[in-house]
Chain A
């Protein structure tokens, strides 16, 4: 194919920026899973903590996507 691709480097930048929160969210849920596996009765308490950590780590990815659209 003799194709051309035009676009913005912002998207690649955002893709790179999403790696960090991705690793962070993975670590959070890995810790949550092993915590529940060791102590199943603590699940209800661990769950809200894990979701809070997930939300905070995800905020970074969200700031990234907002900046990818704002900066040009």
Chain B
């Protein structure tokens, strides 16, 4: 990997401390995969890893939870049904209706609802004890979601406005004429068609990646200060562990916020693609 992962600090005579880096996210395959193959000029190990398992588990957990919560459908909801209804209402109203608008939102609610809870649970896996690995700190997992949302908002717009009409809606800003268009049309095309899926994917990936890296650093650094350095450095290590706990709570907030932002931006892109011509 790059030079950023190769920081090391050496104490007197002790073991040296290697700062955690991107290599810490390369988990070994479950049961050990030894077959390697080359794709895009990089070596890959064929195998089934922990993030893949988490993707499947999260889908199952969400399906089972909402299936059970919606099975009884009592007029006076029980506790479980209440939680399910509140969760659904949050996704439907604040993510769907308020952004896309009351005319078109209904057909996108299943997508937005599923996406929100899928991302939320996969992010929370970073905090849940004994799992403690954010699925989306592997970039490949996020690219799938970003490609899905790119296809959806473009397809929706093309179906409503036609191909040329849709490109005109996305690339030609309203109320501007003359030579400025020469400058603005390529910029708008870049920003609305090409860069959107990239930032969408990178935002989720980098937040999960950086947050988890920070937690690893606090945990390992604190351990090194207490065990290897000792003496006057031990209280600093304890402080690092206290910060580890506080940052872990901050991470829970960020995990929720990133799931919300991802789905909010999806809804906004769909709304932009559906908007009437100015």
Contacts and interface: CB of A to CB of B under 8 A. Distances in A.
Contacts of A5: 7, 9
Interface in A35-72: 44, 48, 51-52, 54-55, 58-59, 62-63, 65-66, 68-72
Contacts, number: 72
Interface string B212-226: 000000000000000
B contact patch SS: helix
A7 B7 contact: yes
A11 B264 CA distance: 31
Interface residues of B, number: 28
A48 B199 contact: no
Interface residues of A, number: 27
Contacts of A69: 1-2, 4, 22
A8 B260 CA distance: 34
A25 to B, nearest CB: 12
Given A1-B11, A48-B99, A72-B2, 15 more contacts: A1-B12, A6-B8, A7-B19, A8-B2, A8-B3, A8-B4, A10-B2, A11-B4, A44-B94, A48-B268, A52-B265, A62-B199, A62-B202, A62-B203, A69-B2
| 7 nearest CB pairs, A to B | A8-B3, A7-B7, A72-B2, A62-B206, A59-B199, A72-B3, A55-B261
22 contacts: A1-B11, A1-B229, A2-B12, A3-B11, A4-B9, A6-B7, A7-B3, A7-B6, A8-B4, A11-B7, A44-B98, A51-B260, A52-B264, A52-B268, A54-B261, A55-B265, A58-B203, A59-B203, A62-B203, A62-B206, A68-B4, A69-B1
